Amino acid sequence: MYATSYHRASSVEDAVKLKSANEEGKYLSGGMTLIATMKQRLAAPSDLIDLRHIPVLRGISIDGRKVTIGAATPHADVAASRELAAICPAICKLAGHIGDPHVRHMGTIGGSIANNDPAADYPAGLLGLGATIVTDRRSIRADDFFTGLFDTALEEGEMVTSVTFEAPEKAGYAKFNNPASRFAMTGVFVAKTAGGVRVAVTGAGSSGVFRHPGFEQALASNWSADALGSVAVDASNLMSDMHANAEYRANLVKVMAKRAVISAG
């Protein structure tokens, strides 16, 4: 790890100010990605601005069916929230299968979506739920937020403060683990929302998380795993790597989509 200066931000304003004062600095949330990258000397931020001690960033609040999750809320809190499980168990299940217990107690939803790893779970959840990402300066629809591999709509210095969504009528998530990393080799989130059926796929797309319109249409007319049987999955936009080629991923996309529908009930 290269030398760096640590700052503990006390408020969102404080954090944003610290960030703008240190151009080569980075926000630090759970550190599960950033610290590991720094240890490998692949990142060398001059400053780390720690967000985990800003009270408003941490916690889950529920107002009717409207859910708000603070950016610095660890995966374990989302997994364990009974209030959230009562209205959207699929997102709790998703969070409960990220990494291992250490990762779930440190890693946060804000860090995960800001990082937008193409094999991460939350991007599928938020895109599938049609969530809104709230930052220090604006609100961004999930459809506009995840722009590519490790790429998001966040501007320089922009900070995620929370994510919000309406609890869906139904939702389900099915993940096929990469045998080594246990990130999603393919993960599919399906949801029946007020705005219609949404299906989001992570771990498979060569430009990151994506929606699958074919599945969405099929499920809109017939919410059942069987409805997906005849829908084609185009392998040409899927990733091939040493763990899984595009053809196998295309198969997993369909199998996981069916399982997600079954788990949604």
Ligand X SMILES: Cc1cc2nc3c(=O)[nH]c(=O)nc-3n(C[C@H](O)[C@H](O)[C@H](O)COP(=O)(O)OP(=O)(O)OC[C@H]3O[C@@H](n4cnc5c(N)ncnc54)[C@H](O)[C@@H]3O)c2cc1C
Question: Which residues of the chain form contacts with other proteins (CB under 8 A)?
Answer: 1-3, 40-41, 176, 179-181, 242-245, 248, 251-252, 255
We find the least distance from the C-beta atom of residue 91 to ligand X, in angstroms, to be: 12
Q: Tell me how crowded residue 228 is: count the other CB atoms within 10 A of its CB.
A: 24
Among 70, 73, 77, 112, binds ligand X (CB under 6 A): 112
We find the least distance from the C-beta atom of residue 22 to ligand X, in angstroms, to be: 12
We find the least distance from the C-beta atom of residue 103 to other proteins, in angstroms, to be: 12
We find the least distance from the C-beta atom of residue 222 to ligand X, in angstroms, to be: 30
Task: Tell me the backbone φ, ψ of residue 151, rounded to 5 degrees.
Answer: -130, 135
One character per residue 33-62, x = contact with ligand X (rule: CB under 6 A)? xx-x--------------x-----------
Among 114, 171, 201, 204, binds ligand X (CB under 6 A): 114
Q: Does 210 engage in binding with ligand X (CB under 6 A)?
A: no
The 3-state secondary structure of the chain reads: CCCCEEEECCCHHHHHHHHHHCCCCEEECCCCCHHHHHHCCCCCCCEEEECCCCHHHCCEEEECCEEEEECCCEHHHHHHCHHHHHHCHHHHHHHHCCCCHHHHHHCEHHHHHHHCCCCCCHHHHHHHHCCEEEECCCEEEHHHHEEECCEECCCCCCCEEEEEEECCCEEEEEEEECCCCCCEEEEEEEEEECCEEEEEEECCECCCCEECHHHHHHHHHCCCHHHHCCCCCCHHHECCCCCCCHHHHHHHHHHHHHHHHHHHC
Q: Which does 243 bind (CB under 5 to 8 A by kind): ligand X, other proteins, none?
A: other proteins
We find the least distance from the C-beta atom of residue 36 to ligand X, in angstroms, to be: 6
Residue range at the interface with ligand X (CB under 6 A); choices 105-113, 125-133, 211-219, 253-261: 105-113
Q: Which does 26 bind (CB under 5 to 8 A by kind): other proteins, ligand X, none?
A: ligand X
Which of the residues 65 through 84 are near ligand X (CB under 6 A)?
71
Among 107, 125, 130, 205, binds ligand X (CB under 6 A): 107
Binding-residue total with ligand X (CB under 6 A): 32
